[in-house]
Structure 1
Amino acid sequence: MNNKNKGVTLIELMLAVAIVGILAAIAYPSYSRYVLSSHRTEAQAALTRIANLEERYFMDANSYGTLQDLHLTATSAAIYTTDNGYYQVSITPSSATYTLTATATGNQVGDTDCQTFTLTQDGLKTSSSAAASICWH
């Protein structure tokens, strides 16, 4: 009599679960870092957009403006939240200079390499990272 086993044994099933668990343990942290770094573009885009608005405002008023002057909806008098809420942008204006700072909020705080981005009227780009090129690429 020919006795062929059909189906999966418990050992085979446990081995497959262990392999999937190991792959997930390796892949998930890498994926999380990728997602956080991809959200950095939101800070870069917001700072560039607001810098353009500042330059336009300067052409008309001969000084740099606040968020209200630029007609940006602010969560408070000096804070603007980006579209997806990953960063909060603040402006420090004067008549001849401004400094824009984007600070990570919510889950984006987990991006320890680039928690803050700064842009000035001279186009100087800095970040909380040791090398701004890591964040502003």
Structure 2
Amino acid sequence: MYKKSSGFTLIELLIVVVIIGLITAVALPNYREYVMAGNRNAAKGDLLELQQWMERNYSLTNSYAVLPAGTALTTAQLPFNTTPRSSAKTNYNLSFTANPTSTAFTLQAVPVNGQVNDTTCSTLTLTSAGVRGATGSGGASTCWNK
């Protein structure tokens, strides 16, 4: 007589392992792309916020690169220079270019750490005229409209 045993056979376990492997092979690249797109959206939001900060500063000093009188610094510094602001892992470094007599500026978000693998949209830029730019294979229209 055969004794009924409980448990899984080796074939059943191998089938489960293959199914899990296939699901992982499909899902992991998609997950990484969504994470990079989310980080990119955070950087775009921060660039827009900094653009408004630059405009407020300009309305007080008539310059994008000078701070109002009475502040400890004389040249403008961004209120924050990384995205995200309060995390140990930085995805983008934020900076701007403007001379003290300038009536224009360019903000940029340069990818760092794991975000450098985002070849579709690398460095994001935003000017005082509202011109949005991006390096990478996606171009400005793709990167800013997603």
Same fold, judged at TM 0.5 (above): yes
Runs of 5+ in structure 2 lacking a partner? 68-74
Given that 2:78 and 2:95 are in contact with CA atoms closer than 8 Å, whether structure 1 keeps it comes out as: no
Alignment RMSD:
2.0
The 2-side partners of 1:3 and 1:43 are apart by: 64
Contact 1:127/1:135 (8 A) holds in 2: yes
- For 2:113 and 2:142, how far apart are their aligned partners in 1? 21
Correspondences of 1:39-58 after superposition (within 5 Å): 39-58=39-58
Aligned residues between the structures: 131
* Sequence identity percentage: 37
Matched, 1:114 2:115: no
Change (3 A) 1:109 1:121: same
Are 2:11 and 1:18 aligned? no
Q: TM-score, normalised by structure 2?
A: 0.80
Name the CA distance, whole Å, in 2 between partners of 1:2 and 1:20.
Answer: 32
- Structure 1 counterpart of 2:114, one-letter code: N
Q: In the aligned structure 2, how far is the partner of 1:90 from the partner of 1:13?
A: 53
1:52-71 equivalence runs, <5 A:
52-65=52-65, 69-70=76-77
Change (3 A) 1:66 1:32: farther
Distance 2:43 2:107 in 1: 10
CA distance in 1, matches of 2:34, 2:42: 14
Q: Mark the runs of 5 or more structure 1 residues left unpaired by the alignment.
A: 74-79
